[in-house]
Amino acid sequence: MTSLADLPIRDDLRGLTPYGAPQAKVRVALNVNENTHDIPEDVAEHIVAAVAEAVRGVNRYPDREFTELRTSLAGYLGHGVTPEQIWAANGSNEVLQHILQAFGGPGRSVLGFPPTYSMHSIIASGTGTRWIAAERDAGFAISAETAVRAIEQHRPDLVFLCAPNNPTGTPMSLEAIAAAYDATEGIVVVDEAYAEFMPEDAPSALTLLPGRPRLLVSRTMSKAFAFAGARLGYLAADAAVIDALRLVRLPYHLSALTQAASVAALAHAPAMLAMVDEIRGQRDRMSRELAAMGFTPYESWANFVLFGGVADPHATFEALFRESILIRDVGLPNTLRVTAGTEEETTIFLEALGRLGA
């Protein structure tokens, strides 16, 4: 039987492994930071109706410029962002891929700060962009000084900042983001996949966009909007950046069904986001109860908690899995990560972990 090693793939892809978050049918799945709450029934009915209407026209190609969706996304984001400043694709991963296709590639580099979203380095490899790993401060933070020092040392073509960070949940200040931008002539991408879970008074990097044409802020509907299966990611940036991304996207990359479903969901943004407060509450509850058990939860502005003090992460992961509870071993020593689920899911996880005494 032919193996991968027998195929003439690119040399820089040999030995790499694909993204591999575990997939399994379990009673409590808290491993990939999904929104575990159901979409409200009336919203679901509107989305179904919108998709049904779009099906009637699928003999034709969709709107290549996804005009209505860009208008809806700009309206949702606010901060003076216009439709001309919006880009969207099939999940934020494709958005990031478009960025690296346009601004990265062979002979260019992207700087990141591990531990961070694993797809940043994977997409870099896939586009032939050299990945440079820089160190974080204690507690997984990135100060302005740390960001600037790494940029001045490596002189990357792109800088990826994850705020709040995944897998740690760590926030990043606007001052640090602005300092990173000022320290480079390249592209700075702020991945705000978990922005809706930040404290309500916490400012977004969207506020930094005016006057910064090389700053890109990416978002997703997968998390707060409970829309992971629909695959819709997007970004806001200078209109010239959007023109650059048009050069690398595939024709008609967003299906008519995706556009229709996303526009319908955005029309119900307040209802879709009503569950965010409850998710924050379960996140904070987990932090308190994990600390009471003797673990060390890290500060999180996302919809998950990374906690340390786990003697044997793999054994604890397996023990929970045997109870049909799936969380995430992200490979950091003595830590595990768990998504904030519903109150019932959180209770099941905490009680099981308490019984294990891990």
Q: Are residues 104 and 204 in the same domain?
A: yes
Q: Are residues 209 and 321 in the same domain?
A: no
Q: What is the pLDDT of residues 212-228, one digit of tens each?
A: 999 999 999 999 999 99
Q: State yes or no: pLDDT of 21 exceeds 90.
A: no
Q: For 77-119, give the DSSP string.
A: H-TT--GGGEEEESSHHHHHHHHHHHH-STT-EEEE-SSS-HH
Whether 67 maps to a domain, the answer reads yes
Q: Are residues 202 and 242 in the same domain?
A: yes
For the chain, how many structural domains are there in total?
A: 2
Judge if pTM exceeds 0.85.
yes
Q: What's the rounded mean pLDDT across residues 325-347? A: 96
Whether 2 maps to a domain, the answer reads no
- Quote the CA–CA distance of 62 and 262 in Å, as a whole number: 14
Q: Report the CATH number at residue 341.
A: 3.90.1150.10
Question: What confidence tier does 358 reach under pLDDT thresholds 50, 70, 90?
Answer: low
* Sheet of 296-297, strands arranged across: 296-297, 304-308, 336-339
Q: What is the pLDDT of residues 267-296, one digit of tens each?
A: 999 999 999 999 999 999 999 999 999 999
Q: What is the pLDDT of residues 236-261, one digit of tens each?
A: 999 999 999 999 999 999 999 999 99
- Our CA angle for 332, 338, 339, nearest 5°, is 135
Q: What's the rounded mean pLDDT across residues 305-319? A: 96
pLDDT score for 166:
97
The pair of three-digit structure tokens given for residue 14, joined into one six-digit string: 């040999």
Q: Are residues 76 and 120 in the same domain?
A: yes
- Quote the CA–CA distance of 349 and 103 in Å, as a whole number: 43
Whether 60 maps to a domain, the answer reads yes
- Quote the CA–CA distance of 85 and 236 in Å, as a whole number: 5
Q: State yes or no: pLDDT of 234 exceeds 80.
A: yes
CB 84 within 8 A of CB 134: no
Q: Are residues 146 and 218 in the same domain?
A: yes
Whether 3 maps to a domain, the answer reads no
Number of residues in the chain:
358
Whether 71 maps to a domain, the answer reads yes
Whether 101 maps to a domain, the answer reads yes
Q: Are residues 110 and 203 in the same domain?
A: yes
Whether 11 maps to a domain, the answer reads no
Question: What confidence tier does 24 reach under pLDDT thresholds 50, 70, 90?
Answer: confident
Q: Are residues 27 and 49 in the same domain?
A: no
CB 105 within 8 A of CB 129: yes
- Quote the CA–CA distance of 155 and 157 in Å, as a whole number: 7
pLDDT score for 32:
93
Q: 268, 290, 319 — which closes off a domain?
A: 268
Sequence letter at residue 206 = L
Question: What confidence tier does 20 reach under pLDDT thresholds 50, 70, 90?
Answer: low
Whether 4 maps to a domain, the answer reads no
SS3 call for 308: strand
pLDDT score for 3:
84
Q: Name the helix (H) or strand (E) containing 218.
A: strand 215-220
Structural domain for 348, as ranges = 17-37+275-356
Q: Report the CATH number at residue 137.
A: 3.40.640.10
- Quote the CA–CA distance of 172 and 155 in Å, as a whole number: 21
Q: 240, 268, 296 — which closes off a domain?
A: 268
Q: What's the rounded mean pLDDT across residues 176-203? A: 97
Q: Are residues 142 and 262 in the same domain?
A: yes
Q: Are residues 83 and 194 in the same domain?
A: yes
Q: Are residues 204 and 344 in the same domain?
A: no
Helix axes 343-356, 276-292, angle to 10 degrees: 10
Q: Are residues 178 and 290 in the same domain?
A: no
pLDDT score for 10:
87
pLDDT score for 15:
82
Q: 268, 285, 308 — which closes off a domain?
A: 268
Q: Are residues 94 and 197 in the same domain?
A: yes
pLDDT score for 54:
98
